[in-house]
Amino acid sequence: MRPTAAAVRPLTTRYTPRHFNGQGVRLSARPRALPPHTRGILTLKDHVYFAKCTAEGSGRKGGLVKSFGDQPVEFKMDMPKVAGGKGEGLNPEQLFGMGYASCFLGSLQLMAARAGKKELGEKAKVHTKVFLGHPENPDTEGFGLRVEICVEGIDDDNIIAAAHNFCAYSRALTEGCEVTVLKV
């Protein structure tokens, strides 16, 4: 099976509301009340789950990450070989990509079921590519991410668009998410 057209076209977050035209997600223009490089933040009125995770040690270069919960997990971290590491552990981009793929798949399955096409969702696969790189803006320090999502097994553009609108990872990246940094 091949990825749909939606999977191979870049997604953009400049406008809303979203619609799907068979060539990838295209967003219709809306009046802008915010300055050009500002966007709102999606906030939560409550929560149904939270994940507690800890990173320690050398961070990306041989550190350790742990997640506590029903099924605690622990991973050794390392930089990829192409980035100067030994490649002997996972990296944050891999973990992010796995989480995004899983969340998007769950969203696809829900949207397929709502559309009366549950069997499509059961056969679907989601592939993610997470790119770490330097921002185009030379005044921005550090790194940025770019994500590609490839949907396999579902050709229905409306289901894919609905899943993208519903997925918590997609929302965090397109609508923003509240982040609080605290000292302990």
What average pLDDT does the chain have? 82
pLDDT at 133 over 80: yes
Question: How is the chain split into domains, by residue range?
Answer: 5-17+47-175
pLDDT at 32 over 50: no
Q: For domain 5-17+47-175, is the CATH number 3.30.830.10?
A: no
Q: Which residues contact 158 (CB under 8 A, 6 or more apart)?
A: 20, 115
Q: Give me the half-sphere count of Cα atoms (radius 13 Å) on the Cβ side of residue 68.
A: 4
pLDDT at 154 over 50: yes
**pLDDT for res 39:** 65
How far apart are alpha carbons 128 and 164 in whole angstroms? 13
Mean predicted confidence (pLDDT) in 86-102:
95
Strands (E) across the chain are located at: 18-20, 25-27, 52-56, 64-68, 73-76, 125-133, 144-152
Look at 115 and 38; give whichever has higher pLDDT: 115
How far apart are alpha carbons 38 and 141 in whole angstroms? 18
Name the β-bridge partners of 148.
129
Mean predicted confidence (pLDDT) in 125-129:
97
Look at 60 and 56; give whichever has higher pLDDT: 56
How far apart are alpha carbons 56 and 65 in whole angstroms? 7
Look at 128 and 184; give whichever has higher pLDDT: 128
pLDDT at 13 over 80: no
Looking at residue 183, its amino acid is K
**pLDDT for res 59:** 86
